[in-house]
Chains A and B, each alone.
Chain A
Amino acid sequence: MQRPPIAVDAERERPLALVVRAPGTNCDAEMVRAFRLAGADAELIHLDTLIDEPKRLDRAHLLGFPGGFSYGDDVASGRVFALRLRQRLYPALRAAAGRGVAMIAACNGFQIIVQAGLLPGPYDGPFPESPAPQQVSLTFNEGGRFIDRWCGVEYDASSVCIWTRDLARAGLSGSARMLPIAHGEGRFVARDADVMAALKSRGMIAVRYANGDNPNASDDSVAGICDATGRIFGLMPHPERFLDWTRHPFWTRLSPAERAGDTPGLAMFRSAVSVVRAEMSNRAGS
């Protein structure tokens, strides 16, 4: 699929990431830090501000939907946030997706954007004019309880996801193929087998829980998916909590060599930021 043009601000050397928060969002500072370490400028913006001034999105190259308990996760996780996006901000988000703004949505963010119609998104062509019916859902963990732990994960090398493709190719060791989860409603469920088949065949499944380590009984162990362009990415694990090796659950057992270089969490942000930067400099140069 042809990639749509991305907005370029000639003044800017570093791409701009907007991180959207609402009452109850609480992983925003980590996500801002992740974007900054990865080479972007990052600004935190309140959902109400964005609703009042949707033009603020026009300057953004990247968009982050962080985790937390937006609006208390009352009714269901992310439900009220998603409803407000659908009601008040969908045209602006659709336009942003059309410009190729790269988006990441972790945990509560993932729950939000699948309900807002941003994921999985259209298999071909632009986003529809009004939000599409929900295709996938993130519902109660099988145990019915909130869980915080690290899981083994596998990055799918056939995925089109610009956030994870470097990781999928990197040949990471087992201990590096881990991410933390912390959620009560993270069980990935597709509407039906056709949806699941489409996600698979189009490389939209970016990350799965490792074999035998599926913490919530997600369909096909899916931990994260992207849209057909690979630019909009949602996942239940928290890559923004793994920006330093000292956050690894058993880093005191790893050798200095094993904990050298970027963590996989940071590498995800770096991967998307570098794609966006390359596109910016291409356009600036052309």
Chain B
Amino acid sequence: MPSPAASAAPGVANAAPVHRFEVTPAPGQRDPIGQSVARDAAAIGLAPASVRATHVYLVSAPLSATQLDTIARELLADPITERASVGSQPTQPGERVVEVHPLPGVMDPVAQSVALAIRELTGVDAEVASGWRYDIAGLDAHQARRLAQSLLANPVIHRVTDTPYTPASFPRGTSHEHEVRSIPIIALSDDQLVRLSREAHLFLSLDEMRSVQAHYRSIGREPRDIELETLAQTWSEHCVHKTLKSTVTYRDTLLPASGSSRRQIDWSSRPGTMVHADGSITIANMLKSTVAAATFELIADGVDWTLSVFKDNSGVIAFDENVGVCVKVETHNHPSAIEPYGGAATGAGGCIRDVIGTGLGAKPIANTDIFCVAFPDHFRSDADANATGADDSRQPLPPGTLHPRRVLTQVVAGVRDYGNRMGIPTVNGAVAFDDRYVGNPLVFCGCIGVIPRDKVKGAARPGDRIIAVGGRTGRDGIHGATFSSAELEQTASDEFAHAVQIGNAITEKQVFDAILRARDHADGCLYTAMTDCGAGGFSSAVGEMGSKLGAEVHLERAPLKYPGLSYTEIWISEAQERMVLAVPPENVAKLRAICQQEGVEIADLGHFGTPEADLILNFHGREVGRLSMALLHDGIPMPTREATWTQQVPRAFTGAAQPHIKDALRSLLSHPDIASKQFIIRQYDHEVQGATIVKPLVGPRSRGPADASVIEPVPGSGRGLAIANGLQTPVGDPQLGGDPYLMALAAVDECVRNLVCVGADPSRIAILDNFCWPSCAKGENLGSLLRACIGCYDAAKAYRTPFVSGKDSLNNQLKFTDPATGLERVIEIPPTLLISGIAIVPDITRCVTSDAKSPGNALLLIGHIQSTMGGSRYQQLFGLPSPAFPHSASNLVPGTNLHAGPAAARFVASLIADGHVRSAHDVSDGGLLCAVSEMLIGAFAHAGLGLNTPPAGPIGADLRLSMVHAEAIVAAFSESPSCYVLEVEADRVQRVLAMGAQAGVPVTPIGSLNDSGVLTDPALRLSAVVGDLVHAFTHPLAW
């Protein structure tokens, strides 16, 4: 079968006329697409009277009238629900047209499938483009344009017209003059080097430019354009993590002891660390001395179940005797800021490829996604900027940014469409809100895979062919690696439009199907090594695989989406869905046969192994670049960087009047951090592959939030894998007097608790770090990054949870000119550390969920509630009474006790393993009272989904929170680390108390479940109907 990518193949006669088809709902049929646009428009203050949606197909091919009719009837329209017509239907009086088409060169997967089907139906090769027409009533031209801008189109990837769009012909690529260009740098001054770096989008520092200059001076020639580009990609922050790997000199200014039992960092005897006489500290290779050091020390200390750490595209641990599981989490922040749908989708796709490209190939079995965005209610949308009254306290959006609601709904749609189409369940996630993410949303995409243990390692050999498989190379995604390493500016969407892409999940699925067949071939694995084309495209993939051997590449052999790409564009394009394999020559034919059957394109680009281990780049028989691998991989200068840290005084929040505890509870359950993410979760297929044991929503009506998800990677084995994350940004927030060191401890603790709560073995937890920081050129930010790294080391050692992989994104800030003041402003994101964890569940039938189970059972608190309210959601909403309760509640952020935390995790795990626990939930956002409420919300069986089961009497609870702290607000809402709520049958309570005493873990009975349907605490004068709490929890994000 010809490849579907042939829709854009060169050689199709371009003189063919363009035919337009329109597909609309048949008379009397509903129009769910149009209705959902109308609904979304109403949500942003535009109220069209009606919206009709029409799918438009533009087909360029010599087709007869009969063939056109066949295509319309047999292919494009559903004979029952739709009607197709050729040409464009007239506009109705009073209606306006908004038509949206992808710009030329933007991936259009629908077009590829239609071209395939037209060939099947008529035998004619066609070029196809698809788009949408909306006929809108009740809006003026200005409003219609706003609707288009806010909901329907993004100018980065779409063309919007106000009349039906039918071009006379499709645009074609122009051929390129392929002269080899040299860039003179030998004679440049420092200023000129800096300017060149910025203007050519190299984003190299002056030191790095000087190193490049020195190298070319030493070999006596100017660099060629492709060589500079290759260096820029390979040396980018994204690819080489030069900040985290650098040597750092650190000094701090701490507050005088503030009466808290705060742990200060003990700097003595840390790996790679020197304490100087003046109190300053030097750490060599920050990443190696902290995150990686913890892992290698744990391995030396008996953690014998890691299989591959830090080296490969993902980290691998042992699952059982035959199978390993691998895990990777990446960010795709900057592309998602500009084009959230495409950015998130390609983020998911790239992370999935990392897993596929681990060792000799893994099979993806689960995805995770975590988003950080601004509070949608805090910002005016484009559409209602002029429409609202003077009392609107919401902020205007900074120029060049998208509204947080749009960002969130679009990143969700992007992850949904990619993950669902790939057939990978998206089982775990979180969303965190802070207004500083407004110009710089964070999109973390994670993927987990299974891999046979004998396929974990691969290495290319001299003479192996360099084989590219998958999608074609286009001009899309140029400079993604360097772009991701830059600061975002308000002009970024214009300047970096070419870095934004739309993915095609089906192509990736085909590539993956082909690769697994080649891996498991009867003659043995057909290739010796593999990696994905991620940031930097071929330049990074070939450069990495051939770093020891050298490689010779013939760039004209890469299949192109359209003609006219320069050799440099081919080399650095980050076009999606491509993998590079090292294939022994004798296996190429077998691989080609598999690819042909799976409809995957394959190209032989050259071979690994050159005499001097150089990287040699050719184009149509001419050498266009030659670089030594040593320069590429070891030539980057690593200057010592200066880091500082000034501990901030905890921000004294003063709330005017403290709300009644019931009102506070309801407000907290409606806080976007806490409220149900059902609208997101339901859009993800979290059950494909049929192996999801604990789903993201639990309970009889699937309302309760699960602490972690559990899958059965080998169906029928009875052994599970739990997946969770920890995110404790407020604990490290400098504006709250937080400390990134404590944030790292709390994040690891939270991740561990989430995993333990579903039945995971705490001695089989592997974790990952994702640092998203504002610019670390600023000493304070580098200082906070260093403290977080130290926290990662201490926590990983204490919990015995090795880091197996990680990633960083270190320039997350938005620079813009404030239209109100004309002044330049920078919004830095709060330092954000995501800890992701996977853990072995020895017996899936022992899994526990967070929904409360039976009236009569007791609720036990495991752990100790601290008085520290700093960073809590309660503090965020209400502040604290001033003066804060002396000595009983404080504005300090909580610390994590590295002895008590692991002990509590082990204790809870042993109780669950022994079958003592009916439900378990960790105490996190919103504190203990929110945790108990969520358990009751999970159990609430009235109305909702799965109506086949009769509603049981709604479960309520009667609490005695004064047992855990004298101050009601602290007891109810402190977000103390290392705490759990367990539901235990009444006759087991004494036994559990005794076991706790023996283990040295605090266990406090805090109340019992009943069938009242009411949550009460007499001493707190709390009486809340669970049904009301359900409403408070589920309605805020019911988008």
Contact = CB atoms under 8 A, between A and B. Distances in A.
Interface stretch (A7-15, A77-85, A223-231): A77-85
B999 interface: no
B849 interface: yes
Contacts of A48: 1, 597, 599
A148 B423 CA distance: 13
Contacts of A242: 690
B950 interface: yes
B831 to A, nearest CB: 34
B319 to A, nearest CB: 17
B659 interface: no
Interface in B30-52: 30, 32-33, 35-36
A182 B426 CA distance: 12
A69 B688 contact: no
Contacts of B847: 246, 252
Contact of B79 (A134, A140, A213): A134
A39 interface: no
A87 B119 CA distance: 11
B710 to A, nearest CB: 9
Contacts of A252: 694, 698, 847-849, 851, 853, 919
Given A74-B113, A174-B949, A250 B683 contact: no
The 10 closest A-B pairs by CB, nearest first: A26-B423, A152-B948, A74-B113, A144-B32, A144-B36, A30-B690, A137-B80, A241-B690, A140-B32, A174-B948
B581 interface: no
Given A71-B113, A83-B75, A246-B712, A146 B948 contact: no
A110 to B, nearest CB: 14
B853 A147 contact: no
A69 B416 CA distance: 12
Nearest to A265: B690
Contact of A213 (B4, B120, B691, B948): B948
23 contacts: A48-B1, A69-B420, A71-B4, A72-B506, A74-B114, A75-B117, A80-B120, A84-B120, A134-B80, A137-B80, A140-B32, A146-B416, A147-B683, A149-B945, A151-B946, A152-B947, A153-B948, A174-B949, A177-B948, A210-B947, A243-B715, A246-B844, A252-B849
Nearest to B715: A33
A234 interface: no
A285 interface: no
B946 A213 contact: yes
B74 interface: yes
Given A140-B30, A149-B946, A246-B847, 12 more contacts: A26-B423, A69-B421, A72-B504, A72-B506, A74-B112, A83-B120, A143-B36, A151-B945, A243-B690, A247-B693, A250-B851, A252-B847
Interface in B64-116: 74-76, 78-81, 109-110, 112-114, 116
Interface in A136-158: 136-137, 139-153
A148 B682 contact: yes
Nearest to A249: B702
A86 B121 CA distance: 10
B116 A250 contact: no
A134 B77 CA distance: 12
A240 interface: yes
Contacts of A249: 695, 698, 702, 946
A152 B946 contact: yes
Nearest to B424: A26
B683 A148 contact: yes
Contacts of A243: 690, 715
B844 A72 contact: no
A67 B949 CA distance: 27
Contacts of A147: 682-683
B113 A182 contact: no
Q: For this complex, into which size category does the number of interface residues on chain A fall?
A: 35 or more
A72 B113 contact: yes
B693 A213 contact: no
A177 B949 CA distance: 9
B133 interface: no
Contacts of A141: 32
Contacts of A88: 120
Contact of B74 (A83, A153, A211): A83
B948 A210 contact: yes
Contacts, number: 212
Nearest to B850: A252
B33 A144 contact: yes
B413 to A, nearest CB: 9
B644 interface: no
Interface string B488-517: 000000000000000011100110000000
B687 A180 contact: yes
A171 interface: no
Given A23-B599, A27-B423, A148-B682, A182 B117 contact: no
B690 A79 contact: no
B699 interface: yes
A3 interface: no
Contacts of B422: 26
Contacts of B116: 71, 80
A238 B425 CA distance: 14
A210 B700 CA distance: 15
Contacts of A168: none
B421 A72 contact: yes
A274 interface: no
A33 B423 contact: no
Contacts of A49: 597
B121 A175 contact: no
A148 B686 contact: yes
Contacts of A134: 78-80
Interface string B676-694: 0000011111111111111
Interface in A55-79: 67-69, 71-76, 79
Contact of B509 (A26, A140, A247): A26
Contacts of A142: 30, 32
A115 B79 CA distance: 9
Interface string B506-534: 10011000000000000000000000000
Nearest to A134: B79
B368 to A, nearest CB: 16
A133 B75 CA distance: 13
A189 B32 CA distance: 14
A283 interface: no
A76 B84 CA distance: 13
B888 interface: no
B845 interface: yes
Contacts of B120: 80, 83-84, 87-88
A149 B78 contact: no
Q: Which of B598, B687, B947, B949 has the most CB of A within 10 A?
A: B687
A175 B949 CA distance: 5
Interface string B158-194: 0000000000000000000000000000000000000
A224 to B, nearest CB: 16
A134 B75 CA distance: 13
A178 interface: yes
Nearest to B108: A74
B872 to A, nearest CB: 30
Contacts of A146: 416, 420, 683, 685
A139 B30 CA distance: 10
A87 B690 CA distance: 32
B947 A212 contact: yes
B584 to A, nearest CB: 26
Contacts of B420: 69, 146, 182
B75 A75 contact: yes
A24 interface: yes
B510 to A, nearest CB: 5
Contacts of A169: none
B81 A139 contact: yes
B692 A247 contact: yes
Given A71-B506, A74-B110, A83-B74, A150 B702 contact: yes
A211 B949 CA distance: 11
Contacts of A190: 80
